[in-house]
Amino acid sequence: MESINISAQLQQLQSQVQGLSEWEALQTLTTSFPGKVVFSTSFSMEDQAIAYWITKYQLAIQIFTLDTGRLFPETYSVWERTKEKYGAIITAYYPNAAHLQQFASQNGPNAFYSSVENRKQCCFIRKVEPLQKALQGNKVWITGLRAEHSPDRKDLPMLEWDSLHAIFKFHPILHWSTETVKTFIQQNDIPYNPLHDKGFVSIGCAPCTRAIQPGEDFRAGRWWWEDASKKECGLHLHQDIANK
């Protein structure tokens, strides 16, 4: 019965946001779920565009970030610039200290290079667990995912039900091209990570991210020592196909 209700609610929400501009769709979701809409930012260009709408139109959306403790200095810099320019309140979530201490003590600070299992465990402690805290009690999760990011995302619906976290997910710029994102950033003078100008496309933790070479896949710079089929950190897994 619950799955039927979720499907009906999903269809209703999809109908409500259809044909709206990105920021109008965000506003509509805040009306449907007052105080229960959150936006996760990694300070990528995509996320900076969404943060721009949230702050410009004063949308009732809580902005949060996952500070893994291994981010690039440039990422912290754009975080600070965003806060200063827009007066944005950005809630930071951190890894569980005991879990991180145990993992690093047993496996070493760079254990993620030694095996996929260690890397996924590191991601779980630094990202997945903090995300669970950030999403708890909320109804809608806004993301900066784009279809160009990976083959797994090209068929995503803009609004979907995430059964893993029991939350609706909305991807307002899912079908934007990379050039569209860059143009929007430039036209609106939005702060962005300077690593993007140095060949870094998808930017995560410093030890696990490199610049990509011409012709390489979008996510080639993430966990480059692993097989391409394993390049997910656990934040955007899809166990549910009820949306399709």
Residues marked as catalytic: 233
| Secondary structure of 121-168 in HEC code, one letter for each residue | HHHHHHHHHHHHHHHCCCCEEECCCCHHHCHHHCCCCCEEEECCCCEE
The CA angle 178-183-186, to the nearest 5 degrees, is 130
14, 114 Cβ separation under 8 angstroms: no
Give strand pairing partners of 64.
Answer: 40, 91
| Own/partner long-range contacts of 119-126 (Cβ < 8 Å, ≥24 apart) | 119/208, 119/223, 119/226, 120/233, 120/234, 123/233, 123/234, 124/234, 125/95, 125/96, 125/99, 125/100, 126/66, 126/68, 126/69, 126/70, 126/95, 126/100, 126/205
Q: What are phi and psi of 197, to 5 degrees?
A: -80, -5
3-state secondary structure of 169: strand
160, 169 Cβ separation under 8 angstroms: yes
